[in-house]
Amino acid sequence: MKVRLAIVGCGEIASYVAWLARFVPRLQMIACCDSDQQRALRFSQRYRIPLVYQDYRALLEKENFDAVYLAVPHDLHCSMTLQAVEKSKAVLLEKPLARNFDEGKQLIDQIGESKVGVNYQYRYDSALYALARALQKRELGQIYSMCIQVPWHRSHEYFELSPWHRSLERSGGGTLLTQASHFLDWAFWALDEKPVCAIGFTDKVAFDVEVETIAHAVIQSQGGTLISLTSSMICYKERAVTIQIDAQHGAAFYCDRPFPTVKFQGTWVVKEKPPIRGIHALQRSLSAFCAWVLDETPYLIPAKQALPALAAIDAIYCAAQTGKRESTIYTRNHQCDNLD
């Protein structure tokens, strides 16, 4: 059995997914859809996808398939997810879940137990998976600090090819939401905690855009871990993402270049392998989504787990405006434990 998938949004990330699909034996791409008809046609030819649509609603009405992969601008994430759920489709939604926590929480309340996963594929990165499992099993004891650096260079072309990235209304944010949210999602999953407060600075340097291109922040988690985060689109090219952890029984260091590695210091850790095989985190995420749809094997990022990253980012944006430390929604509502 295969998951019959429709790809919606035939842009940058969808090309990687369609290319990697050849390494996901349980996936069959049956349709693609883009509001830009030429782009949809080119995509269908390049990846040999038989059905082509320009209108998402028509695709949902007319075709028989199991799941959609939504790789569209952020302002369409919630409405398109809901439309798919109404037609009983499973959904693999590109990150972030929504433009902010409130929008994401509203979606979570509306989709109930439907199968909606968010493609935060770094949870399936082999080194980050091993590190997360070690933290979840408390092998390093109490985690004192986590320093996350996300230096992902972007050129003018990035905003020219996808102008929605410039718009605050359409994207909801810049480097924090589109780039750092991958690693904030990973961090709160690995700590198994919610963010409680944040301070931060953001700026719109180097491009004519409405969203931040650089951000420095410190976030405190429920258990007291201090997470310092720098995220930048205006850094020099090809720099590594790094995560440095200092803890009660030792330390850990993750680096994604030249390939993802994690090193532990001060304590012996057996590195757990991701629950699904593959050559790349994105491929593993796709394979795991198929296993979820076909066999009920849990996918690592069910939609509601994508909320803590949004709560942290909302607090950073707020702090950057007020110049003060700001609480997250979890602390404001005294709901750290029951607000999943």
Residues near ligand NAD, by CB under 6 A? 8-14, 33-36, 39, 56, 71-74, 76, 94-95, 119, 121, 162, 178
CB of 210 to ligand NAD, least distance (A): 16
CB of 259 to ligand NAD, least distance (A): 16
Nearer Cβ to ligand NAD, position 120 or 264? 120
| Integer Cα distance of 270 and 5 in angstroms | 36
CB of 327 to ligand NAD, least distance (A): 26
* Selection from 312, 94, 78, 287 nearest residue 185 by Cα: 312
Nearer Cβ to ligand NAD, position 122 or 188? 122
CB of 60 to ligand NAD, least distance (A): 11
Nearer Cβ to ligand NAD, position 196 or 286? 286
By beta-carbon distance, which residue lies closest to ligand NAD? 11
Nearer Cβ to ligand NAD, position 11 or 250? 11
CB of 79 to ligand NAD, least distance (A): 9
Nearer Cβ to ligand NAD, position 143 or 282? 282
CB of 18 to ligand NAD, least distance (A): 11
CB of 152 to ligand NAD, least distance (A): 10
Nearer Cβ to ligand NAD, position 14 or 313? 14
3-state helix/strand/coil string of the chain:
CCEEEEEECCCHHHHHHHHHHHHCCCEEEEEEECCCHHHHHHHHHHCCCCEEECCHHHHHHHCCCCEEEECCCHHHHHHHHHHHHHCCCEEEECCCCCCCHHHHHHHHHHHCCCCEEECCHHHHCHHHHHHHHHHHCCCCCCEEEEEEEEECCCCHHHHHHCHHHHCHHHHCCCHHHHHHHHHHHHHHHHHCCCEEEEEEEEECCCCCCCCCCEEEEEEEECCCCEEEEEEECCCCCCCCCEEEEEECCEEEEEECCCCCEEEEECCCCCCCCCCCCCCCHHHHHHHHHHHHHHHCCCCCCEHHHHHHHHHHHHHHHHHHHHCCCEECHHHHCCCCCCCC
| Integer Cα distance of 312 and 217 in angstroms | 10
Nearer Cβ to ligand NAD, position 186 or 264? 186
Q: Is 28:49 a contact under the CB 8 Å cutoff?
A: no
CB of 314 to ligand NAD, least distance (A): 17
Q: Is 15:165 a contact under the CB 8 Å cutoff?
A: no
Q: Which residues of 308-324 are buried (b: 16+ CB within 10 A; e: fewer)?
A: bbbbbbbbbbbbbeeee
Nearer Cβ to ligand NAD, position 55 or 295? 55
CB of 195 to ligand NAD, least distance (A): 20
Nearer Cβ to ligand NAD, position 35 or 327? 35
